[in-house]
Copies of this chain bind each other. A is one copy, B any other.
Amino acid sequence: VPLTAFVGATVIDGHGGQPIEHATVLVEDGRFLAVGSAASTPVPSDAEVIDLVGRYLLPGLMDANVHLLPWPSWGYIEFLARYEDRFDAVITEAAQLALASGFTTVFDTMGPLDSLLTVRDRINEGQVTGSRMFVAGNIVGFRAVFTTPEAIASASLAFQQRVNARFEAGGGPDLCLLHPRELAAQMSHYVSQGVDFVKYGATGDGEPVNSQIGQAAVLRFSPDQQRAIVEAVHAAGKTVQTHTTSAESLHLAVCVGNDLGQHASMTGRSRMYDETLERMVATGYSCGTQWAPLTQEQTERVAAGDFSGPQESGLDNIENAVRLIRAGVPQLLSTDAGTVDPDVAKDDEAGRSSMLGEAEFATMRAMVDRGMTPMQVVQAATANIARAYRVDDELGSIAPGKRADLVALDRDPLANVENMRTVSLVVKDGLVIDRSALPSSPLLTSAAATSPGRIRTS
């Protein structure tokens, strides 16, 4: 059994503890054996020594919300048709990009379940190198693809049914019509397919319907139905989370016992309730954080407590975000990141800006802009996620017994959050990753080489 010693770096443990300078981290059999100052942590003579003097060593980074089959491309029939037989390969490529970028663990919150399970298992079994995946399958209650009249009119029925079935995996919109009792039974079945956690759509999909209140403010599942989902998933030993898009739906989601919620700051035309914040704190609710960097002017306005100006569009409500931070609600780096089809990338700014390995660092910047410290950012990308997903016995910090996932940075992230980008070494399960070899079979990202959003993997 090989033993490795990472020596000389400043260790930042993921839990917000005091950094340890000139630290020694011992790894054996894929797990941490010891962490401490050089003085207190002798390096065994048979250890392979990796010299990290001058660098900063963090737990392997995590993203609490990715779509390894890239969601901006799902909207394009051409993408679905071109890659229908190669979803596995697209997902593998994305998992490799994530790993090469320092993200040793990712949580995929929506995608075709069959291919996600296949790739997850291949990676876990060591057949393929890639980020460690936890997968949810569908956002329960949603139709993922072919959601517009235009798309429905532009593809054959057979193709739509085949692709919809792969995305929904038995957890599609029909579940919204079920009695809570029947819904619970259906959720038990859904979980039994092998998902690692469950996400359901408490509200519609955010698209306005005519000039009325829109899907964003209607409940797809009643509170009774939501409780049935939560209980069934918890009974199966999994965590459960929600997609919400209004103040009322967010409040309900917290009340019915969810473990965490994605993009909680997104409450549309309503303001997040004060009692929602209180309840989050009381119940230990965590929030996936999907924010964009601010302009200088916005940053100054935030510092002055002035939220009178226009909020950012879409997922991001600046005032809500600041309130969440100030209330101490644990934030999770949660980006919706993936790859992007090169054709789609030319069309779609959103597609480009959600590239894995770029979106995460932009979000870290956005966190600081809203008032988080760099140390809180590190926690949001490591220990907070592990705790929210209840995998903190294994992941999320540098501590003896846990899986030895590490990233080394060239520059101090606590001095400037932009230094999080200076990843120069990635270790997963104790093994140093050859980042230059990833992705092993480029499919989307090589073609995208000239696109602005192209990830730089070294």
A: which residues have CB within 8 A of B? 76-82, 84, 143, 146-159, 173-174, 176-179, 204, 209-213, 215, 217-220, 222-225, 246-249, 252, 268-270, 273, 341-344, 346-348
Q: With A179-B247, A212-B143, A217-B177 as known contacts, state yes or no: A149 contacts B152, CB within 8 Å.
A: no
Q: With A77-B77, A223-B222 as known contacts, state yes or no: A343 contacts B154, CB within 8 Å.
A: no
Q: A81-B82, A153-B154, A177-B213 are known contacts; what are 11 more A-B pairs with Cβ within 8 Å?
A: A76-B159, A77-B77, A143-B212, A150-B154, A156-B343, A158-B343, A176-B213, A179-B270, A218-B218, A224-B252, A225-B248
B346 and A154 contacting across the interface, CB-CB below 8 Å: no
Residues of B within 8 A of A224 (CB): 248, 252
Closest to A351 in B: B156
A177 and B346 contacting across the interface, CB-CB below 8 Å: no
Complex alpha-carbon distance, A225 and B248, angstroms? 9
For the complex of A and B, 10 pairs with smallest distance between CB atoms: A78-B81, A81-B81, A218-B218, A219-B219, A156-B343, A150-B150, A150-B153, A158-B343, A77-B77, A154-B154
Complex alpha-carbon distance, A273 and B183, angstroms? 14
Interface SS of chain A: helix
Complex alpha-carbon distance, A78 and B163, angstroms? 12
Q: Which of B211, B218, B342 contacts A143 (CB 8 A)?
A: B211
Closest to A268 in B: B177
Residues of B within 8 A of A143 (CB): 210-212
Residues of B within 8 A of A344 (CB): 156
A346 and B158 contacting across the interface, CB-CB below 8 Å: yes
Residues of B within 8 A of A178 (CB): 270
Closest to A269 in B: B177
Closest to A76 in B: B156
Complex alpha-carbon distance, A157 and B177, angstroms? 36
Residues of B within 8 A of A247 (CB): 177, 179
Measured CB to CB, the closest approach of chain B to A342, in angstroms, equals: 8
Counting chain B CB atoms within 10 Å of each CB, which of A204, A219, A220, A224 scores highest?
Answer: A219
14 contacts between A and B (CB under 8 A): A76-B156, A77-B155, A78-B80, A80-B81, A149-B150, A150-B150, A150-B153, A152-B210, A154-B154, A157-B346, A176-B213, A177-B213, A177-B248, A178-B270
A211 and B343 contacting across the interface, CB-CB below 8 Å: no
Measured CB to CB, the closest approach of chain B to A266, in angstroms, equals: 14
Closest to A225 in B: B248
Measured CB to CB, the closest approach of chain B to A446, in angstroms, equals: 16
Residues of B within 8 A of A204 (CB): 218
Q: Which of B78, B209, B343 contacts A209 (CB 8 A)?
A: B209
B177 and A270 contacting across the interface, CB-CB below 8 Å: yes
A151 and B152 contacting across the interface, CB-CB below 8 Å: no
Closest to A341 in B: B156
B159 and A78 contacting across the interface, CB-CB below 8 Å: yes
Q: With A81-B81, A212-B173 as known contacts, state yes or no: A179 contacts B217, CB within 8 Å.
A: no
